[in-house]
């Protein structure tokens, strides 16, 4: 005879999905209804929101085993978990997808709440104080082939670039005025305006990466918040201003070490998915 526990457990197991060992895992969190929650924050980009998101991403990187980096833009963060680099490693929570989704979403929500409190984000308003209440995040964890990690970053970074162009266009030229314009037209017009506050972070997002060092002949390891380098093929023309690759040399070296075989920025041309104005896909 089946026990009561086994009988009830079988219903739970119906929706259990386990991510196979041996794949890199991406976990993307996204702010829920942030177009409303951010009302009153600086437009197009709010430095305090960015700081709260970055600090929270560092907390998660430090807590989730085998995260190698995280990429942050807008109200979302993508964490890359490389348990596949060591086949003997124990996947975090058996890589049960629902467990990872719910745990990372609640961890991010709780840590963000603390940072938002510390940074007085709940009442921050550019005109008058706002009380915007708690912020919530969803999360999704899924496996992907190793070669696709950079493409995933490229995709999210293109979203960041597209949003940056739109946001700056709306802010400096006007929402109605740019309606129906291509990204390159918006950029051409923006070029005529003094847009000194268009930073690399706004265009390319933020990267949370491990920095290794030696202190008193002992190896050290810490998470650093840094501007993301452009994920793109070396000679691909980019619509947005780009820092010279040398600017990112140390960071790229660090990440190449962490990644082993996968070399950021050296993408096979076939993997480059088209220019940003053609890439209008939204992350649902």
Ligand X SMILES: Nc1nc2c(ncn2[C@@H]2O[C@H](COP(=O)(O)OP(=O)(O)OP(=O)(O)O)[C@@H](O)[C@H]2O)c(=O)[nH]1
For ligand X, the binding residue among 25, 26, 27, 41 (CB under 6 A) is 41
> Collapsing DSSP states into helix, strand and coil, what is residue 241?
coil
How many angstroms separate the CA atoms of 151 and 70, rounded? 14
Residue 182, φ and ψ in degrees, nearest 5: -80, 160
- Residues 6 or more apart from 38 whose CB is under 8 A from it? 46, 49, 75
Which of the stretches 44-52, 89-97, 192-200, 234-242 binds ligand X when contact is defined by CB under 6 A? 44-52
CB under 5 to 8 A by kind: which of Mg ion, ligand X, none does 35 bind? ligand X
Asked if residue 217 binds ligand X (CB under 6 A), the reply is no
Instruction: Find the binding residues for ligand X in span 61-100 (CB under 6 A).
Output: 74-75
**Cβ count within 10 A of residue 283:** 12
| Least gap, CB of 44 to ligand X (angstroms) | 6
For ligand X, the binding residue among 21, 46, 144, 181 (CB under 6 A) is 46
For ligand X, the binding residue among 10, 33, 117, 188 (CB under 6 A) is 33
For ligand X, the binding residue among 43, 175, 195, 257 (CB under 6 A) is 43
CB under 5 to 8 A by kind: which of ligand X, Mg ion, none does 101 bind? none
Do 169 and 65 meet the contact criterion of CB atoms below 8 Å apart? no
Q: How far apart are the first and last CA of the chain?
A: 45
Contact residues: Mg ion, CB under 5 A: 30-31, 34, 75
Q: Which helix (H) or strand (E) holds 186?
A: helix 183-191
Residues that bind ligand X (CB under 6 A): 30-35, 38, 41-43, 45-46, 49, 74-75
């Amino acid at each position: 005879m089946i026990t009561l526990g086994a009988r009830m457990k079988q219903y739970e197991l119906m929706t259990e999905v386990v991510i196979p060992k041996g794949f890199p895992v991406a976990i993307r969190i996204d702010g829920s209804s942030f177009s409303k929650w951010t009302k009153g924050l600086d437009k197009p980009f709010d430095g305090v929101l960015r700081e709260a998101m970055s600090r929270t991403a560092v907390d998660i990187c430090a807590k989730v085993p085998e995260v190698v980096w995280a990429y942050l833009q807008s109200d979302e963060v993508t964490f890359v978990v490389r348990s596949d680099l060591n086949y003997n490693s124990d996947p975090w929570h058996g890589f049960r997808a629902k467990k990872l989704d719910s745990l990372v979403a609640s961890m991010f929500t709780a840590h963000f709440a603390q940072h938002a409190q510390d940074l007085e984000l709940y009442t921050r308003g550019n005109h008058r104080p706002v009380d915007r209440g708690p912020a919530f995040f969803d999360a999704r964890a899924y496996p992907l082939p190793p070669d696709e990690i950079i493409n995933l970053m490229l995709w999210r970074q293109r979203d960041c670039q597209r949003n940056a162009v739109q946001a700056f266009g709306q802010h400096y030229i006007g929402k109605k005025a740019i309606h129906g314009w291509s990204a390159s037209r918006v950029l051409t017009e923006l070029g005529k305006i003094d847009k000194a506050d268009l930073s690399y972070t706004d265009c390319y997002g933020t990267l949370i990466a491990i920095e290794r060092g030696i202190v008193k002949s002992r190896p050290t390891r810490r998470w650093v918040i840094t501007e993301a380098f452009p994920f793109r093929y070396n000679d691909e023309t980019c619509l947005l201003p780009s820092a010279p690759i040398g600017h990112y040399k140390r960071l790229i070296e660090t990440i190449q070490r962490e990644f082993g075989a996968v070399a950021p920025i050296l993408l096979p041309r076939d993997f480059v998915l088209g220019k940003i104005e053609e890439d209008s896909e939204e992350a649902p």
